[in-house]
Amino acid sequence: MSNEERASRSEESRMRDDEDEGASVDGAKSVARSSRRVWLRRLAGASLAGVGAAGAYAGWSTRLEVTTHRVALGLDRERRPFRVVLITDLHLTGDRDDRRPFLDAARRATPDLILIAGDTIDRAASIDLISILGALEAPLGTWAVPGNWDRMATDLSTLRRHYERAGVRLLVNERVSAGPVQICGVDDLVEGAPEIGAVEDAARGGPTILLTHCPAFVDQVASASTDTHRGLLALAGHTHGGQIAPFGFAPFTPPGSGSYVAGWYRSSDIPLYVSRGIGTSLVPIRVGSRPELAIFELV
């Protein structure tokens, strides 16, 4: 084979190698582009799923939850359970849609007694909205105590007058008899002056519901005396369950909450239930802390 033929064949071989290398590079680029497309599709799918999950979680966080609790309070076991509905922290606004779920839920519960644990309003301009509570019905009436926002919005006499127009009686360091139980309603701990003596006087008279806006007040009652705690049930609100409590973690609760967030506790030997309430304050959203209407079946 001549030198010219050898050179020609060598050139052809190099060209084929270059073509093969080019094809390999193009193939690698094609695979890379395909991989990026798959990754982008997966990322987009994950993002959409995340947005959907976040939206579902946000929607769940705003739906009213009705909770039911059976409590042994030493009542006559021969009679049916005494039914109490607890409403708290309404923070009423002008939005009528905000009202319908809790009013409907309270009616469906057919309670013997309705209790409102404060913060029905949070500004003076909303005070006329208290009239919607006239739609609540219970044979032994509807009773309320003031919360810190109520106290900041108006004076007690004005608040009492608007409650009375709606058929609700405001209790401020007072006790009343309601069927088989007594109700002791106290002033707000943060903006008012709750009286421990009122609780002790009431509890000596038999099974008693202590209605207080701030749960931290129950610690003061518990530390004051242990003689009158038997047959005492404390119901409170104020905390909103943290209001912004993603996956149950509440980084903030307002002054007057003490160590309480939501649900059942015992302060010394006093059973205490802290409702998450219904409305919102400061920011009009809830995350991870559903609004709550609590029903208690006392036996």
Whether 15 and 78 share a structural domain: no
State the residue range of the domain holding 159.
65-298
Whether 177 and 87 share a structural domain: yes
Whether 58 and 70 share a structural domain: no
89 touches 282 (CB < 8 A)? no
Whether 161 and 239 share a structural domain: yes
> Structure tokens of 215?
């749960």
Give the bridge partners for 70, in sequence order.
297
Whether 71 and 181 share a structural domain: yes
Whether 111 and 257 share a structural domain: yes
Whether 192 and 48 share a structural domain: no
Q: What is the DSSP letter of 205?
A: T
Whether 95 and 223 share a structural domain: yes
Whether 9 and 138 share a structural domain: no
Can you give the pLDDT at residue 103? 95
> Structure tokens of 130?
């208290």
Alpha-carbon distance 220 to 195, whole Å?
10
Q: How confident is the model at residue 30 (pLDDT cuts 50, 70, 90)?
A: low
Can you give the pLDDT at residue 17? 54
Sheet holding 270-274, edge to edge: 174-178, 181-185, 208-211, 232-236, 270-274, 263-267
Of 27, 44, 62, the one marking the end of a domain is: 62
> Structure tokens of 173?
């360091």
- Name the 3-class secondary structure at 260: coil
Stronger pLDDT, 88 or 59, i.e. the higher one = 88
Outline where the chain has alpha helix (H): 3-62, 100-108, 148-153, 156-165, 196-203, 216-224
Whether 46 and 82 share a structural domain: no
Give the mean pLDDT of the chain.
86
Alpha-carbon distance 180 to 231, whole Å?
12
pLDDT at 51 over 50: no
Alpha-carbon distance 236 to 87, whole Å?
10
For 186-227, the pLDDT digits (tens) are: 999 999 999 999 998 888 889 999 999 999 999 999 998 766
Q: How many domains does the chain have?
A: 2
Whether 117 and 233 share a structural domain: yes
First to last CA, the chain: 113
CATH number at residue 132: 3.60.21.10
Of 21, 37, 62, the one marking the end of a domain is: 62
Rounded average pLDDT over 153-167: 98
Q: How confident is the model at residue 98 (pLDDT cuts 50, 70, 90)?
A: low
Pick from 26-35, 41-50, 221-230: least confident: 41-50
Whether 118 and 227 share a structural domain: yes
Percent of the chain topping pLDDT 70: 77
Of 33, 62, 91, the one marking the end of a domain is: 62
293 touches 278 (CB < 8 A)? yes
